[in-house]
Structure 1
Amino acid sequence: MTSNKLWKIRPPSNLTTRLAGETGLSPLIAQLLINRGIADKHTATKFIKPRLADMIDPMGLKDMADAMILIIRAIERGEKITVFGDYDADGLTATALLYNFFSAIGIHAAFYIPNRLGEGYGLNIEAVQKIAKAGGGLIITVDCGASNRKEIELAQRLGLEIVISDHHQVPQDFMPCCPVINPNQPGCRFGFKELAGVGVAFFLAVAIRAGLRDRGWFKNRPEPDLKQYLDLVALGTVADRVRLLGQNRMLVAAGMEVMESTRWLGLRAMKDVADVHDAKITAEDLAFRIGPRLNAPGRIGDALMGMEILTTDDPVVAKDLAFKINAANSQRQGLERDIFDQILYLISDGGGIGSRRIIFFGGYAWHKGVLGIVASKLVDKYYRPSLVFNIQNGFAVGSGRSIDGFNMFQALSEFRHLFEKFGGHSHAAGFTLKKENLGILEEGLESLAHEKLTDADLTPAVDIDCEVGLCDVTFDMIRQIRSLAPFGEANPEPCFLARRLQVLDSRVVGERHLKLRVRQGNEERPFDAIGFGFGEKHPLNGKAVDVVFTPEVSRWQGLEGIQLKIVDLRPAL
């Protein structure tokens, strides 16, 4: 039993005592905040208690004023408005947010979600033509559009107005020809750059509501409470794996509170099928239970089901859709597992990874909807940038996922001449190219990765906040840790190291999860520990191990206990 990960234990900070004294926080929480780059009272207070009052003015987004002119004019003239979204959880929640908002202010908007398998990501020519034939008017994109200049120009030639709202990195040759609301576009001075697509859509809705209020729209109409839409923002933001800091942390924290008593019947139904019944919703519930289910229909080809469940006002329909979405998620898991196993066989049959810096695999009839997940699993297993693609009709369509130190979007940009289209950000991207260009791309990316990545870069690290004894692990400690939630990208759950734990019992539960009972030294109290995906480490009975873990409260038949959620383990030194 060995660990191939580098354990990095953060040293105690000499600022801990001062920060604890200034804030009234415990030394443990002060140290955890310092580990996350927060060392002053003002920033610590805002982190611990994020407030909607700290929301940045939406008008600070470049082009927001121009977008408002088009949108409010369309509303006042009764022109048709179509919200054009994306098929993933971020795009679906963003589309549903604006669609539900327009409905609440008395505007019957339409929506368009492209089919992942037939149309792909973003605006496309056929979709624009369909929208024009259906009555034209105004298109508002969400979570897409920044790289669709050709389609934007077509829409304008067909007499459509268009507003782009997006959060993805923009191409180097980006030259907007319509209002573009994207904090990452050149010249945008908005104070936070890392919103998800649904976050940008929320800021847009806030601005629209303010503009309509100024024009007297709500004198004889009810004004929607946009706080009630924050559960959609939380779900899309967490599912898109953006950094949960700053404005994102504020929106997600507020949104999780709203979700506990959500007004959206579809979210209630999805919580039921996902077995999310705890009084407190967590970011983990959104990331691993609800988010994958909302993503599933779009991955296998029917994202409209995701829109229907987020917009229905019929509880019977919501319940039926939730069961269908749950079935789609099971189907998605099977497709993903099949492709992943094929790639593992190809790697093994080829003699392993060797000196390769890039994992690059494609196949025929590989389901395009799950390629991104497979790429993510390859990154988790091999800790290398991974690209997975399906080959059909002379084209390769795929997804890439990356690690710190290798910006996937910038890497693909180096070979933009090879692509029919591509887009994304530092850790994830999608692409389409001709089959004959695959060899050139693989060779070029491999060469680039050898330039950018050292052997150290390819060794996954476990960041450990501090070393503790099991006697320190109490319910009060867990309560203090929860004050740092929501956890996610850039704010991971705190990890602790406990040394020389004696394994009293070891067994495998489920298909591949490790269940331990451990004790440290002369402590009378043993602890349960669970290691998801660590089943291959069994058996460990009687052995001494060092364990990196996050403490959590376990509940069983009405009883509460403390459980160690294993992050990594190795033989005791």
Structure 2
Amino acid sequence: GLRLLLETNPDRARKVAELLEKMNRRRQNVEEQVLKEAEGMLATTDDVGKAIVLAGDWHPGVIGIVASRLAEKFYRPTVLLSIREEMAKGSARSIPGFHLFRALEKCASYLNTYGGHEFAAGVEVEKARLVDFKKAFLAVADLWLTNEMLTPCLEVEEVIEVAEVTKDLLNNLLQLAPFGAGNPEPILASRKVNIFSYNGVGKNAKHLKLKVGNEFARYEAIGFNYGSLAAQLEGIEWVDLAFNVTENDWNNQIQLVLKDLQPVAEVG
């Protein structure tokens, strides 16, 4: 990446860019394969339980992001481990209300090393102790987590009319940046928003792109990993939306990044 920024020869810069793009596609393919295998493991389980602990012969470079995706999708604390010979190293991701580092402290006798904070951590465990660690971690999750805590809950800052989403609003929201774990990006919501069009985008149409709005304004909206919802939108004219407000880098137009979408069957 740094070499590309410093390169002054156009031909060499192009070759470096092509190499980086190839490496990125390869990483994405590996990530998708690991995610598919992990979800396949969960599919064979009758009850996922209150936490997820999975291990496999996986590329360690994508473990963290796959753990994040699983934690987000299943809304469970997730530990994903890459087995190499007699050791397993991995990443853990959590949900609000479950302090990951403290949970790992309770399992310390089974771990070689661990470190992190409330929402993310790294762990190393001997392969021979994987089963014991999994039992211990799941026991902590069973003790600390209630069923209510395993139900995702969006904290919406304000419910507004969709036509109120303007560049001025976006600029006001950006005054609250930088956003992060201690300062989450504001989520807004709008009810009974018209859907003008929608289609799946990306590899295997895993993302959802929509045109939404009302008689006064129209916006492009993108739902990352929302592609499976397309089938539910057939024949639907209105939806309730929760979203972040951003600016599309390509056309400098306002874009809504979906956080939740619920079809509205009728408008009263």
Same fold, TM-score > 0.5, yes or no: yes
Q: CA deviation at 1:267?
A: 7.8
Q: Which residue of 1 aligns with 2:26?
A: 331
In the aligned structure 1, how far is the partner of 2:244 from the partner of 2:7? 40
Q: Which residue of 2 aligns with 1:266?
A: 2
Instruction: Give deviations 1:109-160, integer Å, cap 9, x for gaps.
Output: xxxxxxxxxxxxxxxxxxxxxxxxxxxxxxxxxxxxxxxxxxxxxxxxxxxx
> Measured at CA, do residues 458 and 314 of structure 1 come closer, stay the same or move farther in structure 2, by a change above 3 Å?
same
> Measured at CA, do residues 475 and 433 of structure 1 come closer, stay the same or move farther in structure 2, by a change above 3 Å?
closer
The number of residues matched between the two structures is: 259
Q: CA deviation at 1:360?
A: 0.9
2:44 alignment partner AA: D
Q: 2:4·2:16 contact (CA, 8 Å) conserved in 1?
A: no
Q: 2:209·2:222 contact (CA, 8 Å) conserved in 1?
A: yes
SS at match of 1:372: helix
Q: CA deviation at 1:338?
A: 0.9
1:514 and 2:208 equivalent? yes
Q: Which residue of 2 aligns with 1:491?
A: 183
Matches within 5 A, 1:320-469: 323-353=18-48, 356-363=49-56, 365-469=57-161
2:2 alignment partner AA: G
In the aligned structure 1, how far is the partner of 2:213 from the partner of 2:113? 55
**Max Rg structure:** 1
SS at match of 2:112: strand
Where do 5+ consecutive residues of structure 2 fail to align?
none
* Greater fraction helix: 1
Q: CA deviation at 1:352?
A: 4.8
1:472 and 2:164 equivalent? yes
> Measured at CA, do residues 399 and 515 of structure 1 come closer, stay the same or move farther in structure 2, by a change above 3 Å?
closer
SS at match of 1:370: helix
SS at match of 1:445: helix
In the aligned structure 2, how far is the partner of 1:513 from the partner of 1:571? 17
Q: 1:504·1:542 contact (CA, 8 Å) conserved in 2?
A: no
> Measured at CA, do residues 479 and 399 of structure 1 come closer, stay the same or move farther in structure 2, by a change above 3 Å?
closer
SS at match of 1:547: strand
TM-score by length of 1: 0.42
> Measured at CA, do residues 419 and 561 of structure 1 come closer, stay the same or move farther in structure 2, by a change above 3 Å?
closer
Q: 1:266·1:322 contact (CA, 8 Å) conserved in 2?
A: no
Q: CA deviation at 1:533?
A: 1.8
Q: CA deviation at 1:464?
A: 0.6
> Measured at CA, do residues 545 and 414 of structure 1 come closer, stay the same or move farther in structure 2, by a change above 3 Å?
same
* Greater fraction strand: 2
In the aligned structure 1, how far is the partner of 2:173 from the partner of 2:155? 16
In the aligned structure 2, how far is the partner of 1:447 from the partner of 1:361? 15
> Measured at CA, do residues 348 and 504 of structure 1 come closer, stay the same or move farther in structure 2, by a change above 3 Å?
same
Greater relative contact order, per chain length (Cα 8 Å cut-off, separation 6+): 1
TM-score by length of 2: 0.85
Q: Which residue of 2 aligns with 1:281?
A: none
C-alpha RMSD over aligned residues: 2.6
SS at match of 2:258: strand
> Measured at CA, do residues 352 and 370 of structure 1 come closer, stay the same or move farther in structure 2, by a change above 3 Å?
same
2:29 alignment partner AA: G
In the aligned structure 2, how far is the partner of 1:457 from the partner of 1:324? 44
Q: CA deviation at 1:430?
A: 1.9
1:423 alignment partner AA: G
In the aligned structure 1, how far is the partner of 2:124 from the partner of 2:217? 57
- Name the % identity: 32
In the aligned structure 1, how far is the partner of 2:246 from the partner of 2:7? 37
1:410 alignment partner AA: R
1:346 alignment partner AA: M
1:445 alignment partner AA: F
SS at match of 1:462: coil
Where do 5+ consecutive residues of structure 1 fail to align?
1-264, 270-312
Instruction: Give deviations 1:375-397, integer Å, cap 9, x for gaps.
Output: 11110111111111122322222
Q: CA deviation at 1:431?
A: 2.0
